[in-house]
């Protein structure tokens, strides 16, 4: 993987009349990486990808592909980039004709393009007998694979994906997520993928960019986004989380505002202290919270009352009420905690599993 960016976005602004959809986006995409852009509906993901492939024009800013400006280049003259959209196949054509379509446009001879189509069927783990099959005789998952084979037939330097799996059922989506990741590894291509789905992003990506209201809130590897989010927005967007409003305190390093937390020692020793009086948010994911048996301790301890238990397949999720706030705990089924609603419980978590968000409570942006 080279370290020079294959694609550089520099101060990309997109306005629609008075409305600013993108507020100066900067991003370097590394050659060969799988980058996923995640964000809630309306955050600007599609707008951005449309600019990247040339379906729309930037209001200001620059897009460079291998150092060369492409933001003024029309879509059909950006041969290195293309979007893969799930159902953009030609239904009246065969699988083979669909895959060969880009090669036909480029004037590749019949025998060569057939050979390439058969090769791509194998790459996508479809039987070569599918070459003559009609698109409307293929299942949803098979169509996705054909669409991918066709995208690869263009031999683009970067593949852009706009929610390609969102219409599929859960099982098929899970299978194709892994296949896409595998395909990425095998082809070494640069993949830029947009989705609403945090899980999809976590499974497949090298890096994740979280978008909010036309800006990137955080760009990092999945583990960092999950374990060390920069804001409450990212923390909550990336799954279940317990967040405590805190302020810096001279004696203990931190003081909880909404729930009483007993801190063993000083939060500064755990690297989790704020300057006295400064607001912040202490975060811990549910799987790192323990039910403390009598006599057992932890860096942070919260007393609560069991509220409910939910079976989530291999995991069990518990809701525990502490000073009117609902906390979430998750355990593997084999580590199930035996408690009834109403039981008093002690929850504990350690400093290494917690993270301090240096942002005032209630998401002041």
| Sites of contact with ligand ATP (CB under 6 A) | 16, 19, 21, 39, 41-47, 196
Structural tokens at position 45? 């993901």
Nearer to ligand ATP, 197 or 258 (CB): 197
Sign of CA dihedral 283, 288, 292, 298: negative
Q: Which residues share a beta bridge with 329?
A: 318
Instruction: Give the number of other CB atoms < 10 A from CB of residue 183.
Output: 21
Would you state the structure tokens that stand for residue 345, as one six-digit string? Answer: 């419980």
CB of 200 to ligand ATP, least distance (A): 13
Name the pairing type of β-strands 262-263 and 255-256: unpaired
Q: Is the dihedral of CA 85, 91, 96, 101 positive or negative?
A: negative
Shortest Å distance, C-beta 14 to ligand ATP: 8
Q: Measured from the CB atom, is 21 or 249 closer to ligand ATP?
A: 21
Half-sphere exposure of 268 (CA within 13 A, CB side): 10
Pick 56 or 62: Cβ nearer ligand ATP: 56
Total residues found in the chain within this entry:
365
Q: Which is nearer to ligand ATP, 60 or 297 (CB)?
A: 60
Nearer to ligand ATP, 50 or 66 (CB): 50
CB of 63 to ligand ATP, least distance (A): 16
**Measured from the CB atom, is 196 or 307 closer to ligand ATP?**
196
What single string gives the DSSP state of each residue in 268-320? GGGT----BT-EEEEEE-GGG-EEPPTT---SEEEEEEEEEEEEETTEEEEEE
Nearest CB to ligand ATP, comparing residues 100 and 200? 200
Measured distance CA(20)–CA(214) in Å, rounded: 8
Minimum distance between the CB of residue 94 and ligand ATP, rounded to whole angstroms?
32
Alpha helices in the chain (DSSP H): 45-53, 95-105, 110-123, 140-153, 170-187, 198-204, 222-227, 232-237
User: What is the closest distance, in whole angstroms, from the C-beta atom of residue 49 to ligand ATP in the complex?
Assistant: 8
- Are the C-beta atoms of 296 and 348 separated by less than 8 Å? yes
């Amino acid at each position: 993987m080279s370290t020079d960016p294959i694609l550089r976005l520099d101060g990309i602004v997109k306005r629609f009349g008075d409305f600013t959809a993108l507020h100066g986006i900067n991003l370097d995409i590394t050659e060969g990486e799988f980058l996923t852009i995640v964000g809630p509906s309306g955050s600007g993901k599609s707008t951005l990808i449309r600019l990247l492939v040339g379906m729309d024009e930037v209001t200001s800013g620059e897009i460079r592909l291998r150092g060369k400006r492409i933001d003024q280049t029309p879509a059909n003259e950006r041969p290195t980039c293309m979007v893969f959209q799930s159902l953009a196949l030609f239904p009246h054509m065969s699988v083979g004709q669909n895959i060969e379509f880009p090669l036909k446009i480029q004037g590749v001879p019949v025998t060569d393009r057939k050979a390439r189509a058969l090769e791509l069927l194998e790459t996508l783990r479809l039987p070569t007998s599918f070459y003559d099959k009609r698109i409307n005789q293929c299942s949803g998952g098979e169509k996705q694979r054909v669409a991918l084979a066709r995208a690869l037939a263009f031999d683009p330097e970067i593949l852009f994906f706009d929610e390609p799996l969102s219409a599929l059922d859960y099982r098929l989506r899970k299978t194709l997520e892994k296949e896409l990741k595998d395909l990425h590894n095998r082809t070494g291509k640069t993949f830029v993928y947009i989705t609403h789905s945090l899980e999809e992003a976590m499974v497949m990506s090298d890096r994740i960019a979280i978008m909010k209201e036309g800006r990137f809130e955080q760009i990092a590897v999945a583990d960092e986004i999950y374990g060390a989010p920069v804001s409450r927005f990212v923390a909550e967007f990336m799954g279940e989380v317990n967040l405590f409003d805190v302020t810096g305190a001279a004696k203990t390093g931190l003081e909880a505002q909404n729930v009483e937390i007993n801190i063993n020692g000083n939060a500064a020793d755990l690297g989790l202290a704020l300057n006295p009086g400064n607001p912040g948010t202490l975060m811990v994911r549910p799987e790192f919270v323990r039910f403390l048996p009598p006599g057992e301790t932890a860096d942070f301890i919260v007393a609560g009352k069991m509220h409910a238990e939910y079976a989530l397949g291999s995991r069990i999720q518990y809701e525990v009420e502490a000073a009117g706030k609902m906390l979430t705990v998750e355990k593997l089924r084999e580590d199930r905690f035996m408690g009834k609603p109403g039981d008093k419980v002690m929850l504990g978590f350690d400093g290494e599993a917690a993270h301090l968000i240096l942002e005032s409570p209630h998401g002041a942006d």
